[in-house]
Structure 1
């Protein structure tokens, strides 16, 4: 996770070079518990160095000299809420890109192209990207829907919602500005249709796509409070890997409740094993983990 930081003053520079003591077992357990309690995410022991690195970077920025002092700042300090939001952003924003999983993208396109025409004409297609990070996934879904609806020769009735726990990620996503490297490997025709050059080597998503996507801050532990209902497509990839198995099942059950009958739920490969979510039917695919909600709404 690359983050740019302001130049350090000479005094801060000396402080920044001081190595923090290693995190002991009790401290690591304390942070593990806090993260799981507040976000549901589990941090296995082999991620201790990842946690140490990210905490120490942030602690140096604000001049905090011990893990314990920083923990107390996050739990009870006057800036606790803001500081927690900053830290969660550091710990959860993952590397993401457009059309990250081509097989899942094809499945979504096939799903839309095979919907009954009357259904597509009757109401807008609603898609939801859960754990959307900086926006590449929901914008990808919007581009797929746009292409499909154009091929079908229909009016563009669709909308995409992206949700994430990180407020800074959501704010970045709303801008629709991306570095050129995010588009590496993308089909040239798609690039020219959906992106325009912007300032300082950035690329901007075209307004007609950007206007179709809205973003909301949402912790997946609070799905019961989410305003999304009757979604046709829910895309939740590379998020469940951070949760315990029982919690993954809880999350998937909640997502299934948000699907319209006949709606499509797409997860990441290997994120849910040996379990059949109630009311859903597995899509026969070797390469994509996905389910369709049965038309009768009985669970």
Structure 2
């Protein structure tokens, strides 16, 4: 068995890599030198490369599959159904009743930004279906789920999860919205799958929203951004949010008051008034 020696980053390579990832993907790796070496070194050598300089050149050719693999290596796509459940409780108990009472067009437009392997957007679809019950067909609900990584989007579209991933869901959701597979996993039903549109999207790109969003979920994504990049993104989200719409962020994330027009509602929940 071949033993790989860890390829070390030179100072110049580290600076070039950090600048490239920040400029193109908003990811702040300025304090992550050990992480870069630890997660990428063996992969670089397996590709037959002798240095990070060679690898950086290959990345700059803009091979989307290679870039997707890189981002997967550097970010942690750890998620599960019903993660940070107070967001889902707020959606069900505050946002949906408000929309039901005031939304004469009966349209709900939700964006799961940084959806990873799909647990979040599928949870949103299940909650909306459960809330409206038989009235669901009279509502036009659009759920857009985006991620920069095609790898995790492929898994999301498949919609198959281990039992551990769905353990926090209500039993009624498990019974109604999943079917058990032959290898004891759980697959999201076609009814729920059909309600999600999955797309690759880089949050550093301009956000074009013909129909503004009722809610934007961007949870545990901005932890990878520096302060300036984060507030720039939050302000883009604000412009894409409808009046009385909401932004949900991760509980490890904050938006400094005065740097955004969103009104603080409670930890990790903001509103456009």
TM-score by length of 1: 0.82
- Out of 86, 101, 106, the position equivalent to 1:123 is 106
Q: What is the correspondence of 1:196-275 to structure 2 with a 5 Å cutoff?
A: 196-222=179-205, 224-227=206-209, 229-275=211-257
| Deviation of the 1:276 alpha carbon | 3.5
Aligned residues: 273
Map of 1:280 onto structure 2:
262
- Out of 135, 149, 166, the position equivalent to 2:118 is 135
Q: Distance in 1 between matches of 2:87 and 2:210?
A: 22
- Out of 147, 150, 171, the position equivalent to 2:154 is 171
- Bigger Cα displacement from structure 2, 167-176 vs 264-273: 264-273
**Change in 2 beyond 3 A, CA 1:185/1:278:** closer
| Deviation of the 1:167 alpha carbon | 1.3
| Deviation of the 1:230 alpha carbon | 1.3
| Deviation of the 1:151 alpha carbon | 8.4
Alignment of 1:293 onto 2:251: no
Residues 214-246 of structure 1, C-alpha deviations (whole Å, 9 max, x = no match): 111111111x24346311111111011111111
Unmatched tracts of structure 1, length 5 or more: 1-12, 295-299
Residues 160-208 of structure 1, C-alpha deviations (whole Å, 9 max, x = no match): 1111111121122112122222113332222111111124333110111
Alignment of 1:180 onto 2:163: yes
Q: What is the correspondence of 1:3-152 to structure 2 with a 5 Å cutoff?
A: 13-14=1-2, 17-45=3-31, 47-76=32-61, 80-115=63-98, 117-120=100-103, 122-150=105-133
Residues 64-119 of structure 1, C-alpha deviations (whole Å, 9 max, x = no match): 2322221222224xx74442232123223511111110111111112234315353
| Deviation of the 1:156 alpha carbon | 4.6
| Deviation of the 1:262 alpha carbon | 1.2
Map of 1:297 onto structure 2:
none
Q: Distance in 2 between matches of 1:132 and 1:104?
A: 15
State whether residues 207 and 240 of structure 2, in contact with CA within 8 Å, keep that contact through their aligned partners in structure 1: no
Secondary structure in 2 matching 1:221: coil
Map of 1:5 onto structure 2:
none
**Change in 2 beyond 3 A, CA 1:88/1:161:** same
RMSD: 2.3
Map of 1:9 onto structure 2:
none
**Change in 2 beyond 3 A, CA 1:88/1:113:** closer
TM-score by length of 2: 0.90
Unmatched tracts of structure 2, length 5 or more: none
Residues 51-75 of structure 1, C-alpha deviations (whole Å, 9 max, x = no match): 1122124224423232222122222
